[in-house]
Amino acid sequence: MPLTDTAIRNAKPGETPFKISDGGGLHLIVKPNGARLWRMAYRFAGKQKTLALGAYPAVSLQKARNERENARKLLADGVDPSVKKRRDRLTAKLSANTTLKSVALEWLDNRRQAINSDYADAILRRLETDIFPALGTRPIADIDAQELLQVLRRVEKRGALEQVRKLRQTVGQVVRYAILTGRARHDFTTALNGALRPKGRERHHTAMSREDLPAFLRALDTYDGDPRTAIALRLVVLTMTRTTELRASQWSEFENLDGSEPLWRIPAQRMKMKTEHLVPLPPQAVNALQELRALPGSNNSPCLFPSPSREGFMSNNTMLFGLYRLGYHSRATVHGFRGLASTILNEMGFNSDWIERQLAHDERDQVRGAYNAAQYLPGRRAMLQHWAEWLDEAKRSNKTTARDVRQAAE
Q: Active-site positions?
A: 242, 272, 335, 338, 361, 371
Residues 6+ apart with CB under 8 A from 327: 219
Give the residues across from 36 on adjacent strands. Answer: 30, 56
Q: What is the CA radius of gyration of the chain?
A: 33
CA 179 to mean position of chain CA atoms: 21
Other Cβ atoms less than 10 A from the Cβ of 373: the count is: 15
DSSP class per residue in 182-219: TS-SS-GGGGGTTTSPP--SPPPPPPPPTTTHHHHHHH
Give the residues across from 139 on adjacent strands. Answer: 99
* Phi, then psi, of 122 in degrees rounded to 5: -65, -40
DSSP H or E segment with residue 43: strand 36-44
Q: Which of these, 216, 179, 198, lies nearest to 103 by C-alpha position?
A: 179
Supply the DSSP symbol for 31: P
Residues 6+ apart with CB under 8 A from 88: none
Beta strand 254-255 with 263-266 is: antiparallel
At residue 157, what is the residue type? K
Three-class secondary structure of residue 46 per DSSP: coil
Secondary structure of 349-362 as H, E, C letters: CCCHHHHHHHCCCC
